[in-house]
Amino acid sequence: MTDTPEPAVAWHVATPGVLVVTLQRPRANALGLPIIEGLTEALDSASARGDIKVVIVSSSLPGFFAAGADIKHMATVDATSFTAYGDALRGVLDRLAGDTWIAIAAIDGLALGGGLELAMACHLRVAGNGARLGLPEVSLGLIPGAGGTQRLPRLVGRGRALGMMLTARQVPADEALTMGLVDRLVPEGTALEAALQLADTLLEMSLPAQSAVIRCVDAAFDTSLEDGFRFEVAQEQRLFEEGEAKEGITAFLEKRPPKFS
């Protein structure tokens, strides 16, 4: 009797409103088609439920968040298949980065190449103090092609982003915190626990308002300052008319916690 191998990705509702997605593809969570398909199914599940406000991406493999793209797979494909692989990876990361939920990366161990691109697609990153992060694609004659060249400069600035990508340097967790690549630094092995605690805080807020914050911050990088101001005003007005602002304001005046949906 042959044991059925574990799926590359597992997910479960940890607490109401919080979906934990666990990468578990030995030996290093290479982001091949099994993980891409697993992430897609996990996000499909979150969308179908309709009550997920926070998605946490974590790993069950000691020493690894995700070590990069699937190099063995890339070595066997032609140009057309390489394009399809890249499109599939970019598609699931862009979906994770949207405004349907707040995504948190819980990083313990190595987050390299596509693994770091996965973490950067999340809105927030919690890292154990033993984590190391990097984009080593130039050592393979490639570039970070799943959003890395665009997301990294927005997080750490042009100079630091170039310094990391041009040299393929791995950044230790404490430096990543200093440069803004990660948002919280915690003891090694506790990134998931800390991400769950952060999720509890996020759940207390209004998701429509949080989603509007994401849209406005993204617009700050894509529009002029004047257009950004106009976009912000439109988002604020929409929240007042259609969002949860009425409940938030009423709760404040009544000195009680708001009851957001």
Is 117 designated active site? yes
> What is d(CA 24, CA 171) in angstroms, rounded to the nearest whole number?
23
pLDDT digits (tens, 9 = 90+) for 33-79: 999 999 999 999 999 999 999 999 999 999 999 998 888 888 888 99
> What is d(CA 189, CA 62) in angstroms, rounded to the nearest whole number?
9
pLDDT digits (tens, 9 = 90+) for 238-254: 999 999 999 999 999 99
137, 147, 194, 212: the active-site residue = 137
Q: How many CB atoms lie within 10 A of CB 90?
A: 16
Contacts of 53 (CB under 8 A, 6+ apart): 17, 18, 101, 102, 202, 203, 207
> What is d(CA 85, CA 75) in angstroms, rounded to the nearest whole number?
12
Is 69 designated active site? yes
Domain made up of 9-203: CATH architecture: Alpha-Beta Complex (3.90)
Q: What is the CATH number of domain 207-253?
A: 1.10.12
pLDDT digits (tens, 9 = 90+) for 197-256: 999 999 999 999 999 999 999 999 999 999 999 999 999 999 999 999 999 999 999 999
117, 127, 131, 243: the active-site residue = 117
114, 115, 134, 148: the active-site residue = 114
Average pLDDT, the chain: 96
Contacts of 164 (CB under 8 A, 6+ apart): 134, 135, 152, 156, 171
pLDDT digits (tens, 9 = 90+) for 98-151: 999 999 999 999 999 999 999 999 999 999 999 999 999 999 999 999 999 999
Name the H helices within the chain. Answer: 33-49, 71-74, 79-96, 114-121, 148-156, 158-167, 173-179, 191-203, 207-222, 225-242, 245-253
Is 114 designated active site? yes
Give strand pairing partners of 23. Answer: 9, 59
Q: Where, residue-wise, is CATH 3.90.226.10 in the chain?
A: 9-203
Q: Where, residue-wise, is CATH 1.10.12 in the chain?
A: 207-253
Strand 64-66 and strand 171-172: pairing?
A: unpaired
Instruction: Determine the residue type at 163.
Output: G
What pLDDT does 1 receive?
A: 45
Is 226 designated active site? no
